[in-house]
Amino acid sequence: MKEILLAGIDYFKTKMLRLSSATLYVSVGMFLMSSALSMGLFIDIDLAYGPLGGGFNIADRQTWPVGIQYGLLILGLISIGYGLIVVHPRHLKRVEEATQRQRVVVVDHRGLTFAVNKTVFESVPPEFLGRREEIPIDQTPYVSGNSRVDDPEKSLEEVLHIRRDIDSRVKAVDKKDVTVIYGGLASVPFTFLTGYLIDDDNDVEVLDWDRFKGKWFHIKSKGEEVRDAVISGLKEAETAEEVVVAVSISYKADLPALAKAFPGLPLVHMDSGDYQPNNHWDKTQQQKWAEQFVPLIRALGGAKKIHLTIAAQNSVVFTLGRTYDRRNCPPLCLYQYERDEDPAYPWAVEMPRKGSSAQIVWNK
């Protein structure tokens, strides 16, 4: 019963509330009129059948007074008329004003050779009103056929100016009228860095690619049960100068490869324990992981460097990147995982610090 109720609430929030006010008035009017007609108003049909002349009279099914039926019919007509004549023109005017005033900046991050059949720009949900601007981040020229990043330095250059690019598109627009929509398929270090650079100067919404359904989906709250990740090894690492942090969301990080790549360093593991590609579609769940990630990094504030690896979906990595605060967190290097290489974590993006920009660090 609980699942049915939640499904009904989700349908109302995701479907009904997307309708314009005029559509709602017309829908209610049609419902009232159909209710009146279903009570037998204006209908009196005799159907004869069978050799003995039996029949069926629809009018015999009337149980409501005619006055109520007429009242429902009139209310339905009023509702439809009000929606079409009064509400709909107002709605069109509001949409036009919003479109002229507001801006929707769409960041399409392409960093893998995996091809999609629809761009992020084409998949922006209709409820985001305003003139749309597209900013592509195209790192595919520096990626080989198996999505291996062949030239991290040049790939990095494609990301570094994303905040400046956004600001240049909306410099004459009030911040409250700007929505940034991010969607992408890219390497973990560059996705995290993009989230960090975009930050929260504007309202930010995220789309992620569903490989099973072959389409982009808007990450939003779904009312599902939120799960805590389990954090282990933190106490042993709090006084260390260098620490390895592994975040396992969609699959478990390669802990043996981490131990080999960073011998002798303490390991802190943030583990969702729910390794599946579709465990991330609830925005509230992503926010919960972010709420755990931030204090985890801050708790290691005494470290001179954090070596970070994240095994998670693109949207989760982007969200974690937006939460990283260089003012209150230690220096951080986020590593790329290449299972068939030695070491399996060959390079990282060192996150920007005061007085220095992001750079590529090689693990030799």
Which two tokens mark 188?
Answer: 């973990």
State the Cα angle at 58 between 55 and 59, rounded to 5°.
115
Note the pLDDT tens digit of each residue in 198-216: 987 789 999 999 988 899 9
Tokens encoding 358: 């992001």
Mean pLDDT taken over the chain: 85
Q: Quick one: pLDDT at residue 16?
A: 44
Q: Is residue 94 classed as helix, strand or coil in its secondary structure?
A: helix
Tell me what percent of the chain is helix, strand and coil, each rounded to the nearest 5: 40, 25, 35
Q: Across-strand partners of 349?
A: 334, 360
Q: Out of 55-59, 88-92, 203-207, pick the least confident.
A: 55-59
- Write the single-letter amino acid at 115: A
The model's confidence at residue 129, banded by pLDDT at 50, 70 and 90, is: confident
Q: Which residue segments constitute the domains of the chain, with CATH numbers given?
A: 2-98 (no CATH), 101-218 (3.40.50), 230-362 (3.40.1360)
Q: What is the pTM of this model?
A: 0.75
Whether the predicted pLDDT of 230 surpasses 90:
yes
Question: Which amino acid, one-letter code, is at 23?
Answer: T
Length of the chain: 364
Half-sphere exposure of 197 (CA within 13 A, CB side): 26
For residue range 269-287, list pLDDT tens digits in order. Answer: 999 998 988 889 999 999 9
